[in-house]
Each structure stands twice: as C-alpha cells, then as structure tokens.
Amino acid sequence: MSKVQRSLKPKQSVLSGTASILTLGWSNSSRGRLLLRRAIANLVRAGLRVRSSRFSPDMLTSALVFSPHPDDESFGCGGTLALLSRGKVAIHVAFITDGGASHPFHAVVPPKEISQRRRKEAIAAAGALGIGLSGVTFLEAPDGALARLHGEDLQKTLENISAVLTRVMPDAILLPCRRDGSSEHDAAFWLARRALDGSGLRPRIFEFPVWSWWNPMLLLRSMFEYKKVWRVTLGDAREAKARAIASYVSQTHPIPPDTTSALPPGFASMFLGDEEFLLEK
C-alpha cells in the first residue's frame, strides 16, 4: 500500500461509513438495524399515503412490467398485478436478466442452474398473480452486468426490450424506481427508458420501489420529486402477492449447503403489507 493509499483510506472509510448510515446499508441485517429500517419505512409510507391518490385497475387496459430479476415484479408490484389481472387488464412481464448471479460463490449449484430455477419460480409466481405463460418473456441478459453493458451486449439488450415494447404496445409500463438502491434496478430503468424513447410509444410510466424499501432513506425524496403518488389498496390480492413471493424459494430460503438465503433476513416480510405505491413523474 502506497503512502497515497494510506492517506486516502481513512477518508474513504469515513465516507463509506457515512453512506452506510444514510442508506441503512445494503445487506446489514442485524435485529437493531432491521427494526430501524422498518420504523423509517413506516414513516415514509405514512408520508406517501398523505400525498397519494387511490389507484384503480380500470385506469389501465394493458400493462407491461420490466422486472430486472425474477422476483422484483412480485416484491414491487405483485399485488397491483393481481388486481389488474382480475380487472381483465392485459398484463405482460418481461424479465430482463436471467437472475443467475444471486449465488455467485455457491459450492454446488452453478449460475446456469440458478437461472433455470428462477425461471421456473417466475412462471409459478406469474400464475399466482393471474398471469399466464403467454404473458411472460425472458430476455436473458446477464445478471450482475446491466450497469456495465456496452457494445454488442448493450445493443442486444436494447433491441430485446424494444421488441417487447413493439409487440405488447402497452398503455402503461411498470418498472423499478430510477434510484432504487441497486445498480441493476437503476440500469433497468434507464435501459427501458432509452428503448422507449426510440419506439415512438408514449405509455404512462409507473415506478415501484423494491430495494429502496430496504434502504428507505432513498424514498424520502420520492415524496416530493414525483408529481403523482398512487396508493394501491390490495385487499385479498395481498394473498396472491404472498403466494407469488413464496414461489421464489431460491431467494428466500438457503440452498444447501448454504445456511443463509440470498435475500437478507426480514427482507420479504417488508413487502407483505396491505398496500403498494406507484410513483409517476
């Protein structure tokens, strides 16, 4: 380590520690930190609720969801999708990545098998939400690399997203927030936005939080920077959402010999409430 590196390290540590505190960290899941996450998330929900208007399924006739990974659609807007499917809204879900990077160092199960498991789980989750196999597309972009795509890989991903847009021609798109606390989710938003800009289509865009519920400080700005906050009251659609989330066993339960799950303890339970929020610029 050089003298310059030694002089920079304390400053970087302070900055890293400050960022971790402000965002509550990404994977820290101690009981105390989890309780703090939930307390702040409840305060944010209360603020969003004050600003919100009631969302009704009859606002839409068709919807296309761009899910960065198999499970984001269920966590972020699963209840909304269940309600829309009951309201005879045509729904299509496009999974951008194959999800194979969720267990990068697993001793037994390789990434290819992880992606195969997640594909099966996604189909089961879609069924729980009332979406048939014809309403599901897997774009197979490499998981863990969305924010670093370039050249042919970037072009291919944009073309695949554009093809879904052209085929479905939705009057609304649902996708994770543009600042969701995950580089993959942020990249998914801007890839979809870029493809949409070149499509000539002008659907409404609804953003849903996923990882920003885990780091709820990121959602504080959302109460002010979006023109519209929509509140989706789930009712018994909450049960359909719970079944969809439960379909993703590879993410919510350890895959032996691992003793911990891919998602941090307490993550899934944060999404089992009675309402969801959609944000619209």
Please list the pLDDT of the chain residue by residue as tens digits (281 residues): 433 333 333 433 443 344 445 556 555 557 788 888 999 999 999 999 999 999 999 999 999 999 999 999 999 999 999 999 999 899 999 999 999 999 999 999 999 999 999 999 999 999 999 999 999 999 999 999 999 999 999 999 999 999 999 999 999 999 999 999 999 999 999 999 999 999 999 999 999 999 999 999 899 887 789 999 999 999 999 999 999 999 999 999 999 999 999 999 999 999 999 999 999 99
Residue 229: strand pairing partners: 279
Label the pairing between strands 275-280 and 228-233. antiparallel
pLDDT of residue 12: 38
Give me the numbers of helices (H) and strands (E) for the chain, helices first please: 10, 8
Half-sphere CA count of 218, side-chain side, radius 13 A = 21
**Residue 6 is which amino acid?**
R
Smallest Cα–Cα separation from 19: which of 219, 265, 183, 215? Answer: 215
Q: How far is CA 193 from CA 57, 123, 186, 188, 219, in A?
A: 23, 25, 11, 8, 20
d(CA 60, CA 258): 43
pLDDT of residue 29: 55
Q: Which CATH superfamily is domain 30-280 in?
A: LmbE-like (3.40.50.10320)
- DSSP class of residue 144 equals T
Side by side, the strands of the sheet bearing 53-54 are 53-54, 228-233, 275-280, 204-208, 172-176, 62-67, 90-97, 136-141
Please answer whether residues 165 and 195 qualify as being in contact, where contact means their C-beta atoms are separated by less than 8 angstroms. yes
Query: In the chain, where are the structural domains located?
Result: 30-280
pLDDT of residue 153: 94
How far separated are the first and last CA of the chain, in Å rounded? Answer: 47
pLDDT of residue 11: 39
What values do phi and psi take at 54, rounded to 5? -75, 130
Q: How far is CA 148 from CA 143, 151, 175, 187, 264, in A?
A: 11, 10, 19, 9, 25
Label the pairing between strands 62-67 and 172-176. parallel
